[in-house]
Amino acid sequence: MAPTKTRKSKPKNRKLSPVGQTFQSVSSPRSSREWVERKSRGIRILQVPTLANIPWLIHGFSTKPGGVSNQDDEKILNLGFTEWDTKENVLENRRRFQSALGAPDLKLVSLKQIHSDVIHLFDTAPTEPCQGDASVTNRLALLLGVQTADCVPILLVDPKKRAVAAVHAGWRGTLARIVVKAIGQMQMQFKSNPADILAAIGPSIGGCCYEVGTEVATQFLSQFAEAPQWFAEFRTGDEPNPIQWLNMMPPGHQPPPKNVLLDLRKANRAQLLGVGLRSSNIFVNDLCTACHRDLLFSYRKEGPQSGRLLSVIGIRSEGNL
Ligand SMILES: [Zn+2]
Q: What is the pLDDT at residue 259?
A: 84
Interval 254-279 mean pLDDT: 90
Greater model confidence, 11 or 154: 154
Distance 5 CA to ligand 1 centre (A): 33
Q: Alpha-carbon distance 211 to 284, whole Å?
A: 20
Ramachandran bin of 159, using left for φ above 0, alpha for ψ from -120 to 50, beta for the remaining angles: alpha
Same domain membership, residue 95 and residue 39:
yes
Same domain membership, residue 218 and residue 172:
no
Whether residue 231 lies inside any domain: the answer is yes
Greater model confidence, 233 or 234: 233
Interval 209-223 mean pLDDT: 93
List residues bridging with 17 in a β-sheet.
37
H helix intervals, the chain: 49-52, 87-101, 171-175, 178-190, 214-223, 264-274, 299-302
Distance 236 CA to ligand 1 centre (A): 18
CA quadruple 283, 286, 290, 293: dihedral, nearest 10: -90
pTM of the model: 0.87
Same domain membership, residue 224 and residue 106:
no
Query: In this structure, what are the phi and psi dihedrals at residue 198, rounded to the nearest 5 degrees?
Result: -100, 140
Distance 287 CA to ligand 1 centre (A): 8
Give yes or no for residue 29 having a pLDDT over 60. no
**Reported confidence tier of residue 133, pLDDT bands at 50, 70, 90:** very high
Percent of all residues in the chain with a pLDDT value above 90, rounded to a whole number: 77
Give yes or no for residue 243 having a pLDDT over 70. no
Give yes or no for residue 251 having a pLDDT over 50. yes
Query: In this structure, what are the phi and psi dihedrals at residue 107, rounded to the nearest 5 degrees?
Result: -90, 115
Give yes or no for residue 199 having a pLDDT over 90. yes
Report CA 8 to chain centroid distance, whole Å: 23
Give yes or no for residue 299 having a pLDDT over 70. yes
Same domain membership, residue 196 and residue 215:
no
Same domain membership, residue 256 and residue 227:
yes
Q: Alpha-carbon distance 27 to 25, whole Å?
A: 6
Distance 218 CA to ligand 1 centre (A): 22
**Residue 170 CB-half CA count within 13 A:** 19
Greatest CA separation found in the chain? 68
Contact in structure between 155 and 134 (CB atoms under 8 Å): no
Distance 207 CA to ligand 1 centre (A): 7
Same domain membership, residue 119 and residue 28:
yes
Give yes or no for residue 115 having a pLDDT over 60. yes
Around ion ligand 1, residues with a beta carbon closer than 5 Å are 206, 208-209, 288, 290-291
Same domain membership, residue 195 and residue 118:
yes
Same domain membership, residue 216 and residue 195:
no
Q: What is the CATH number of the domain that holds 64?
A: 3.60.140.10
Same domain membership, residue 244 and residue 121:
no
Which stretch, 29-38, 253-262, 275-284, has highest mean pLDDT?
275-284
Distance 280 CA to ligand 1 centre (A): 25
Q: What is the pLDDT at residue 320?
A: 55
Distance 139 CA to ligand 1 centre (A): 37
Each residue's pLDDT tens digit, 137-169: 999 999 999 999 999 999 999 999 999 999 999
Q: Alpha-carbon distance 183 to 272, whole Å?
A: 8
Number of domains in the chain: 2
Q: Alpha-carbon distance 138 to 121, whole Å?
A: 9
Distance 271 CA to ligand 1 centre (A): 22
**Residue 73 CB-half CA count within 13 A:** 0
Contact in structure between 58 and 69 (CB atoms under 8 Å): no
Distance 76 CA to ligand 1 centre (A): 21
Interval 38-66 mean pLDDT: 96
Q: What is the pLDDT at residue 102?
A: 95
Contact in structure between 97 and 45 (CB atoms under 8 Å): yes
Same domain membership, residue 147 and residue 50:
yes
Same domain membership, residue 69 and residue 114:
yes
Q: Alpha-carbon distance 230 to 228, whole Å?
A: 5
Interval 302-316 mean pLDDT: 96
Distance 254 CA to ligand 1 centre (A): 27
Residue 221 is part of which domain span? 211-260
Whether residue 5 lies inside any domain: the answer is no
Q: For the chain, what is the mean pLDDT?
A: 87
Element (H, E) at 145: strand 142-148
Distance 211 CA to ligand 1 centre (A): 10
